[in-house]
Amino acid sequence: MAKPVPLGTRSEVERRVEHRHTLSAWRPELPPVLSTPHMIGWMEAAGFEALLPFCEGDEVSVGAAINVTHRAPTGIDSTVRCEAVLESVNGRFLTFRVNAHNGSEVIGYGTISRAIVSKSKFEEKHKAGGR
């Protein structure tokens, strides 16, 4: 089982917006700004990084829930910093307060929940089609 994770555990990831991260990469008629799914993925990455030191053996963290608001556009070549801070633990679910900042304003915020699982058991369940 994973080591206990103290409240306040945090991590940040920083990414540069490239064309492949934009709405226009998906549909050319859309604006060349950071897509919500990419922003959320970077927030998830911050939560993943925060939990890495607490995983043991073949344990990894996986996403379990997302509640995020995307408030402002961010263009190509902008740097986005995403932070995740552990806010609560409910059994095996760990909920992070997350935000994304483009250097001048907060562009997104909310919560994400992750669970620490045994990779081999998780994959075994997936192959069996179970939950």
Mind listing the pLDDT tens digit for each residue in 35-63? Answer: 999 999 999 999 999 999 999 999 999 99
Please give the tally of structural domains in the chain. 1
38, 70, 83, 101: the catalytic one is: 70
Q: Report the SS3 class of residue 72.
A: coil
Q: From edge to edge, which strands make up the β-sheet containing 59-70?
A: 10-16, 79-90, 93-101, 106-118, 59-70
Query: Would 109 be classed as within a structural domain?
Result: yes
Q: Based on the residue annotation, tell me whether 126 is a catalytic residue of this protein.
A: no
Q: What residues contact residue 50 under an 8 Å CB cut-off, 6+ apart?
A: 9, 10, 11, 84, 85, 86, 96
Q: Based on the residue annotation, tell me whether 56 is a catalytic residue of this protein.
A: no
Query: Would 92 be classed as within a structural domain?
Result: yes
Give me the pLDDT at residue 92, please: 87
Query: Would 42 be classed as within a structural domain?
Result: yes
Structural domain boundaries, residue 65: 10-128
Query: Can you say how many angstroms the Cα of residue 20 is from the centroid of all Cα atoms in its chain?
Result: 18
Q: How confident is the model at residue 130 (pLDDT cuts 50, 70, 90)?
A: low
Q: What is the pTM of this model?
A: 0.92
pLDDT tens by residue, 61-111: 999 999 999 999 999 999 999 999 999 999 989 999 999 999 999 999 999
Query: Would 3 be classed as within a structural domain?
Result: no
44, 74, 83, 101: the catalytic one is: 44
36, 49, 87, 111: the catalytic one is: 36
Higher pLDDT, 101 or 120: 101
Q: Based on the residue annotation, tell me whether 36 is a catalytic residue of this protein.
A: yes
Query: Would 5 be classed as within a structural domain?
Result: no
* pLDDT(1) > 70: no
Query: Would 57 be classed as within a structural domain?
Result: yes
